[in-house]
């Protein structure tokens, strides 16, 4: 837990004051998994079962990341700034 939390904090320390979406944080923290799942979703030759599993995988990564982000918001390390399209949260 401490490793992921530190990785997330590092993202926000690089560019203080900038707003980051949950998807951006996921793409940086779980970069290999994110790219693999995104490639499956964007491949027009993937069957529907693979695409469905890829969507589940991405949702799982988002939930894991939101857990850490929410934990940091409660600890006043981060601030939730807005909610965008499809209820995606933005943090600073």
The domain limits of the chain are 2-91
Pick the CATH number of 2-91 from 2.60.120, 3.10.590, 1.10.10, 3.30.1380: 1.10.10
Return the pLDDT at 1. Answer: 66
β-pairing verdict for 20-21 and 89-91: antiparallel
pTM greater than 0.95 (yes/no): no
Q: Let me know the angle formed at the C-alpha of 30 by 33 and 17, rounded to the nearest 5 degrees.
A: 145
Six-digit token pair at 87?
Answer: 């209820």
Return the pLDDT at 62. Answer: 95
Please list the ranges in the chain whose pLDDT falls under 50: none
Q: Which of 38, 39, 30 is nearest to 11 (CA)?
A: 30
């Amino acid at each position: 837990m401490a490793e992921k939390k530190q990785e997330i904090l590092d993202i926000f320390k690089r560019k203080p004051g900038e707003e980051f979406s949950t998807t951006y944080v996921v793409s940086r923290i779980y970069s290999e998994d994110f790219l693999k799942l995104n490639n499956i979703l964007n491949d027009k030759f993937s069957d529907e079962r693979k695409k469905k599993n890829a969507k589940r995988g991405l949702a799982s990564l988002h939930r894991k990341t939101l857990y850490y982000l929410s934990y940091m918001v409660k600890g006043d390390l981060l601030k939730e700034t807005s909610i965008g399209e499809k209820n995606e949260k933005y943090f600073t």
